Amino acid sequence: MHSYIEEESEKKLEIFIDAISRIKPDIIAMQEVNQRTVKKPAAIDTNIVFKQYGIELKADNYGLRIALALSEKGLNYKLIWVGIKRGFNIFDEGLCFLCRVPVTSADAFLISQTDSITNWKKRMVLGIEAGGEWFYNVHMGRWDDKEEPFYNQWTSLNKKINSNTPIWIMGDFNSPADYKNEGYDLVLSSGFYDTYTLAKSKDKGYTISGRIDGWSDKKASFENKRIDYIFTNTKREIETSYTIFNGEREEIISDHFGILLTYERN
């Protein structure tokens, strides 16, 4: 999301809320959800907030503001939040889910070696159970990171999940699909399917279109790549997989585009 780090963040917040109110996804997974450290703790409405972990919700939390705005439009989304780390010394950053479907339980766990909120490489996973399936929201480190490599984080994640349960893992994997024998191939070799390749109808699937934060060291062209995914451990009938907030389907609101997936639930 980039949230408050984005230029014209308030305008982009309204673009997001407007699109969600029209599309009405059942489950939304968001990364880089920010709040200002100096703000007061949020007044918790249990009709809105299902669960929070880590750094507590502040009044200006980007995900909370979206949930409240959607509620004003008559859309009841539950918020599940994990606050993970500090950014630029002025923001708390975390992951969140917004869910229209009933959520029965939630979980959050560490997958990085560091557990310091002042270390930007700290990584956690946020999970929810809905309809007998588990959905996990991730923001992974890079494969070539010397301190917090993707391989170690993926291994930690796999130890925490129950492979006998229907699972979805979604978010920013920081692993280009065309980088062979790295993160993307590791996920597939771990028994997961890329829902983009399963989809009956899809677009080009690119989730970034140029240089982005965290990849500025790459001298070669970094345009038109897939590094954000929705994976599942069950081969399913995926109807559609389209990129959203890419300038064609809704306006661009971040350096990453979103993925909009549709499938028939059993």
Query: 67 — phi, psi (to 5°)?
Result: -60, -40
Q: Over 50: is that where the pLDDT of 12 sits?
A: yes
d(CA 66, CA 52): 16
Q: Over 90: is that where the pLDDT of 210 sits?
A: no
Query: Across residues 29-52, what is the average pLDDT?
Result: 97
pLDDT of residue 209: 87
Residue whose tokens read 């949230």: 3
Say if residues 205 and 176 touch (Cβ distance below 8 Å): no
Q: CA 113: distance to chain centroid? A: 20
Q: Over 80: is that where the pLDDT of 259 sits?
A: yes
pLDDT of residue 218: 57
Average pLDDT score over the chain: 94
Quick one: tokens of 102? 């009933």
Query: Across residues 246-250, what is the average pLDDT?
Result: 96
Residue whose tokens read 């959203």: 244
- In this prediction, residue 87 has a pLDDT band, given cuts at 50, 70 and 90, of confident
- In this prediction, residue 163 has a pLDDT band, given cuts at 50, 70 and 90, of confident
Q: Over 80: is that where the pLDDT of 220 sits?
A: no
- In this prediction, residue 264 has a pLDDT band, given cuts at 50, 70 and 90, of confident
Say if residues 4 and 91 touch (Cβ distance below 8 Å): yes
- In this prediction, residue 219 has a pLDDT band, given cuts at 50, 70 and 90, of very low
Give start and end residues of each alpha helix (H) in the chain.
Answer: 9-23, 62-72, 150-160, 183-189, 195-198
pLDDT of residue 213: 63
d(CA 148, CA 233): 25
| Cβ contacts of 46-50, under 8 Å, gap ≥ 24 | 47/71, 47/76, 48/77, 48/78, 48/79, 49/78, 49/79, 49/80, 49/81, 50/78, 50/79, 50/80, 50/99, 50/103, 50/106
Query: Across residues 94-107, what is the average pLDDT?
Result: 98
Q: CA 186: distance to chain centroid? A: 19
pLDDT of residue 211: 60
For CA atoms 145, 188, 134, 24, give the dihedral sign: positive
Say if residues 199 and 239 touch (Cβ distance below 8 Å): yes
Burial of 213 (0-12, 13-18, 19+ CB in 10 A): exposed
Q: Over 70: is that where the pLDDT of 181 sits?
A: yes
Say if residues 168 and 231 touch (Cβ distance below 8 Å): yes
Quick one: tokens of 166? 């229907």
d(CA 232, CA 10): 33
- Sequence letter at residue 19: A
Q: Which residues contact 250 (CB under 8 A, 6 or more apart)?
A: 15, 19, 244
Q: Over 50: is that where the pLDDT of 251 sits?
A: yes
Query: 223 versus 143: which is more confidently predicted?
Result: 143
Query: Across residues 47-59, what is the average pLDDT?
Result: 97
Q: Which residues contact 60 (CB under 8 A, 6 or more apart)?
A: 35, 36, 39
pLDDT of residue 162: 87
